[in-house]
Structure 1
């Protein structure tokens, strides 16, 4: 059906050939995947089969004809036996679904009676029965691709070429298109599909021909897409500790407010313990959530903000305000260890009126 005999194709103005010494044969009724990265030579192989290009070296034989010797005048007649589906649909925007599918038969001179019979059959096969009068812009992407497939098979070709037919479709619609191509293949049509969709290739277990930089690497009868470990993958980025940073900022602001404004007298032991709880919990939160931010912020907490020198006592006789510090040893508060306090209690935000915090 299709035979490549040590085919090399080099395009003008390029140093490296698109494909180099490619040799394989496709039998009638096969479903073959051409796989490989972009630029590996998949589309070049399809263009050679369709006689859009001719090989620089070697032979391409399709349906028993050496395409190198096929005259340009006979190419349209040769292509009547081959259907082609592309990634970009290539529909005529001003023609209805029926007219797009019928166009292929009209240019080949098919009779009106045959067109009226063949077009509805093709549309029913691809699941578009009842949408003959729609325009392409009134259809979804998957439906447009179905129109393109119907147009490719309406002439009942022996070979169907598909170049990335699911590239512009969502995953669910792509599965429907692959199932449709499988049904067409079961009807006896030879299908050659170029794709980089590893999931479909692995699931369908059809023949796989892998190309790499224009060189044929393997030919597996019931193979998978191949090794994808070399494909770079994006690693999820860890979120920064926004909550810890906000807590530390709140502690610093609270520290500055306490240092700058007088407060009611509070027992020194309670004040020291509360201050130590606030600072220790803030540093612990920074270390747990954002270790890379903690040293800088902890240093900011350790260094008390500069404030103007205060007199031994205020004008009304109250004792001077003491800045929050974290260098004092941890003490026990009313029989409770520091670890027994909640975060709200450490920050002095607990709702119990009997408790005393740094905001009292």
Structure 2
């Protein structure tokens, strides 16, 4: 049953299996295991970024397609929900219409970019996607009457997903039975379904053809596969799932802006998560996103504690200053690439431990 649910792609490593089960368990019960606004917010972000990173891995790790437009698709889904909620009201219909419209628009834009660009060499396609993503980010920032410009858009979500809504009296295991809890499980459940869907896709005949194209596109075309068609289909599918992740992000934040969804910093973060976890594995998205989001949220605090602990020693307090957390995040990334060149998942599977 488990093998069928995971599309036959078992972890193939005891350590990896334990890590994945631990992450799934922690995310599934995060509101009860880690009560507090910050910890639940971190868990929700991990869920969303797992889907976003996995959708990019579908493109890069399985299709061999380098793109810098993934945050653009992420943003389209987020703005779709924000605009629909602004103009249609705070109902669930607005969330559904906005998410589906954002995913459809992302897939259509990916189709246009793919048909005109995927026939060229990989580096030129990457540059084209970078140019288009930059143009869309500038356009969104300037259309202040529609998108809110640099200030972004704040919008209202259904009352059933707000903290004021009570779906039961009292508490559940010490957690308030309110709409915030429902909203978390909406995000968690949706992300779990999307991730399992991607697992199914990459282990279908379509996914195996993508791997063949990644390894040798000339050979794949020689035996009859239309390489451009498969690459365009993968691009559209990846864009639509990224847009759905963006829609969930907007629902969680109740806000959308250029810095939260369209910035190049997020694109770089996605690349780092893919490399840390391991390309072409899907499970790498789970490991990479979890480690990276936890580091973003807690590394600075840990360094502050460590700096205080060694305050009597020379040099170390300065090196462990909380303001230098980005430096140490970079060091951690370099070390992970050096010791895990195929990513954490790839290394664990090679060791089979």
TM-score interval, smaller chain: under 0.3
**TM norm structure 1:** 0.23
Structure with bigger RCO (C-alpha 8 Å, 6+ apart)? 2
Between Structure 1 and Structure 2, the one with more helix by share is 2
Structure with bigger strand share is 1
Structure number, greater radius of gyration: 1
